[in-house]
Amino acid sequence: MAIKILLDTDIGSDIDDAVCLAYLLANPDCDLLGITTVTGEVEDRARMASALCKVAGLQIPIYPGAEQPMLIAQKQPHATQAKALARWPHEVDFPRGGAVEFLRQTIRAHPGEITLLAIGPLTNIAALFTADPEIPKLLKGLVLMCGVFTNKLAGVGPLEWNAMLDPTATAIVYRAGVKIHRSIGLDVTAQVTMAAPEVRRHFQVPLLRPVLDFAEVWFDHADRITFHDPLAAVTLFDETVCGFERGTVDVELKSEQLAGLTYWKADPEGPHEVALKVDQQRFFEKYFSVFATG
């Protein structure tokens, strides 16, 4: 049976959100029940998601969510890749102010069946858990692209973007009692990358063509894609792509400079699972396997 998924995304900033959404739309084992967008210019982000849904030939409910973090100033005000939308048909108008209620009603309509995949700042998810404290217990699972849990990879600092964009929301979400509370952090996702020429060669199937247009905006300041969010998504369908360990995650809130830092402690009885390793070859095989080449 297909896996019921709700996606919360900040598509339009880093290119990996669009890469992730294309995978979910192409995957026959994914029953994508809805998409919510988060952080600055949420309507432009919704339009980008709509463009991919139209190419996929699917009508997926899309709700713009919170534009501002809970307590701190906005650090991600723009959806820069939206300027590539002109070539792709997309919806323009979306219901405003209903993202949290949409998530709440959808989860309550399918208790124990839905995995919530959050690949942006956690503002919408924290608002959902605060508005209806029973929701975490009604989820099948919560999968996050969030945090840093080891410092073994050169070039990866202690802070991860999604966690630091709304530290208060991050802390609320990690304190929620979800049956499966799983994180794929920056130290692991940073190991799956693809250089721009290779991206252009691989992204020629129809559903990846708009993603490639969005990627060309990304390539104005980067020479490669890192598959942060797609890795989190692929683990929903093949968890052996990553090696997970159970423990406890705490979130730094006292230090302004380190707000959003994730502290990890291994514990076989802990409430959280974090990815500590990845099989890069298996990931790429699984990711591209869902796209028809004919």
pLDDT of residue 294: 40
> Would you state the pLDDT for residue 119?
98
Structure tokens at 92: 């323009």
Give the pLDDT confidence of 177-224 residue by residue, as tens digits: 999 999 999 999 999 999 999 999 999 999 999 999 999 999 999 999
| % of the chain beyond a pLDDT of 90 | 95
Of 66, 92, 32, residue with least CA distance to 237: 32
140 in Cβ contact with 179 (< 8 Å): yes
Looking at the chain, list the stretches that DSSP marks H as alpha helix, in order from N- to C-terminal side.
Answer: 16-26, 42-56, 99-109, 123-131, 135-138, 161-165, 167-174, 186-189, 196-202, 209-218, 228-234, 280-289
* Phi/psi-derived region of residue 155, left when phi > 0, alpha when psi is between -120 and 50, beta in every other case: left
Lowest mean pLDDT among 7-16, 47-56, 62-71, 145-154: 145-154
61 backbone dihedrals φ, ψ, rounded to 5°: -60, 135
Q: How far from 272 is each of 126, 176, 187, CA to CA, in Å?
A: 17, 10, 17
Tokens describing residue 290? 């869902």
Pair 138, 108: CB distance under 8 Å: yes
Helix (H, G, I), strand (E, B) or coil at 32: strand
Take residue 162 and report the two structure tokens written for it.
């999604």
Q: What tokens were used for 194?
A: 């693809």
CATH class of 3-289: alpha beta
Q: What is the C-alpha end-to-end distance of the chain, expressed in Å? A: 25
Averaged over 103-122, what is the pLDDT?
98
With beta carbons less than 8 A apart as the criterion, state whether 37 and 62 touch.
yes
Q: With a cut of 70, say whether residue 67 has pLDDT above it.
A: yes
All structural domains of the chain with their residue ranges: 3-289
Phi-psi region of 29 (alpha: psi -120 to 50; beta: other; left: phi over 0): alpha
pLDDT score at 58: 97
Q: Which residues pair with residue 247 across a beta bridge?
A: 266, 272
Give the three-class secondary structure for 49.
Answer: helix
Residue type (1 letter), 108: R
Q: What is the rounded average pLDDT of the residues 67-96?
A: 95
Backbone angles phi, psi at 218, to 5 degrees: -60, -40
Looking only at Cα atoms, what is the longest distance across the chain?
54
